[in-house]
Structure 1
């Protein structure tokens, strides 16, 4: 008698607490969002979702540029980046038509997400592949010949498991990245499919910008993947993803003051009118350009508190940054709170 496949993971007390917290947040959102608010947030968060997921893979487009593409406007940007955004917009529009445990839908999603970017679209890879970081191979995926059976087992487990969807979606995401079934596009496919699994549990998740938070915590994302592989247990990755889901849900809860880091608050206080990167770094007395970009600038852009003055040219030497309406409201609320 064949033993059914079961991916290795442990449901820790921390995971159970995170699941309970997410359930509370979802209940609060369902009660607060009217139809008009839901539609407005859906568009905003869909754009943030796509920008975050693509940025993890090196795409340079801003939220403003992806909005322009969605509106059918011309965007001055690398053609590959534009194609990736168009593909992602088309793929996320298909969520309602796909089944999370359907192999044919999984392959169709890859076809849509990677069309025009690689030759092997909508099919499993036919050669070996490794995951690189800083010029080193940090993970060798299973041989190509094993991919079809591994994916079949994983999808069958997903179809039959009674594990909570919040946990099951994270387990699937980790196992998918471990298998690395496609020649390219595995990261964005794993994130898309976790969103689909969660959407099938609660439609609210169609547009919760989890990918945006993952982008802001990209190094932790890869660390959680590696630690789960080291432990042969996806619990570290499950906990990481559940924390990102909580942050994403808190970010779309109707409120004047979004959840931001101390570094982003410092940046907002330092931003006067329109300022370039060098001026901002000087105002904050920061010397490390990479640290400034990863800990201050990108997170502030990700939550929509600041915007580029030249969104069509994100890498321009003339690029400057300004507070958005959301940023001004947040800063005003922060200053009011600080006033005795």
Structure 2
């Protein structure tokens, strides 16, 4: 029987898939080719900086840009090599197929060349995921890795699950298996981006890793919680939130910048929705946080409105986008 990674498709996950798909639909292709190339370069640098920063690399976007331009950078040699390897790996991004195991091994060889001894091949020893001095996850034994990875690739090639969900499940399962001696985090993030880019080319440009770096603690907590539940749903929900926030802030802004939380709320609203439905769609448990960080700023900016404005505390109260809110979403999409 074919392997099926355990993942409960919660309303939170399905609502975020819908919101991301709608946001993707609103993002138009950039017609100015020079501008598109500049934007791609800027976002690729952000992607590399974010992904390596999660692993402890201290180089800034400016230093990575200098390395890309062939300039000398005063920094630890290992960190410079990590950047050069990442730049070389992302240059091959368009050539790799996400369902091909050979391409994954080649990506690891490029990404980790000169950094570890076992490059481009699965580990031969045991590994654990550490949080400080504490082991938070012991990966499966090395002799099981080839079989587990073959199962995972077979599932990815055959699954009919939406790519947004499938890419997040693959990312979690990859981190659980931890197939390499080192570089598992950056490889998992790279491969999720590759899977997504085959669904929509926009994902070759969007620096999701930068947002993951800003929410690094939540990233590891989501992995831990999924492992505890033996269900990747918590990690999938987290990744979809990062993807949605990255999409919302993707294009240069003509209008004043919308806070990511407000942008996420706007993208979630379908017709008229009450507070509970919105809070559930966003996956937020804290009512006060939702009100202060999402609802009140959106109302104050006139981006959403109440359906019963003269009774703000009515139990029948719902919220909908205003013309200004719809225009703001359109501006985000058009750049």
TM-score tier (shorter): 0.7 to 0.9
What TM-score do you get using the length of structure 2 for normalisation? 0.75
Separation (CA, whole Å) in 1 of partners of 2:249 and 2:260: 12
Q: Deviations over 1:17-37 (max 9, x none)?
A: 111111121122225664333
Deviation at 1:75, TM superposition (A): 0.6
Aligned to 1:249: 247
Question: Counterparts in 2 of 1:1-340, with a 5 A limit?
Answer: 3-30=1-28, 34-256=32-254, 257-260=256-259
Separation (CA, whole Å) in 2 of partners of 1:171 and 1:85: 27
SS of equivalent residue, structure 2 residue 137: strand
Contact 1:84–1:113 at 8 Å: present in 2 too?
A: yes
Quick one: structure 1 residues 32 and 112, their matched pair in 2 at CA, closer, same or farther if it must change by over 3 Å?
Answer: closer
Quick one: structure 1 residues 148 and 259, their matched pair in 2 at CA, closer, same or farther if it must change by over 3 Å?
Answer: farther
Q: Deviations over 1:276-319 (max 9, x none)?
A: xxxxxxxxxxxxxxxxxxxxxxxxxxxxxxxxxxxxxxxxxxxx
Quick one: structure 1 residues 72 and 258, their matched pair in 2 at CA, closer, same or farther if it must change by over 3 Å?
Answer: farther
How many residue pairs align between the two structures?
Answer: 260
SS of equivalent residue, structure 1 residue 228: helix
SS of equivalent residue, structure 2 residue 45: helix
Quick one: structure 1 residues 261 and 103, their matched pair in 2 at CA, closer, same or farther if it must change by over 3 Å?
Answer: closer
Q: Deviations over 1:173-222 (max 9, x none)?
A: 00000000000000000000000000111111112100000000000000
RMSD over aligned Cα atoms: 1.4
SS of equivalent residue, structure 1 residue 205: helix
Unpaired runs of 5+ residues, structure 2, are 262-335
Q: Deviations over 1:232-253 (max 9, x none)?
A: 1101000100000111111113
Deviation at 1:261, TM superposition (A): 7.2
SS of equivalent residue, structure 2 residue 28: helix
Contact 2:189–2:209 at 8 Å: present in 1 too?
A: yes
SS of equivalent residue, structure 1 residue 132: strand
Unpaired runs of 5+ residues, structure 1, are 263-340
SS of equivalent residue, structure 1 residue 118: coil
Q: Deviations over 1:131-163 (max 9, x none)?
A: 000210000000000000000000010001010
Runs (4+) of structure 1 exceeding 6 A deviation are none
Aligned to 2:300: none
Aligned to 2:286: none
SS of equivalent residue, structure 1 residue 252: coil
Q: Deviations over 1:22-59 (max 9, x none)?
A: 11211222256643332221011000000000000000
Separation (CA, whole Å) in 1 of partners of 2:243 and 2:20: 7
What TM-score do you get using the length of structure 1 for normalisation? 0.74
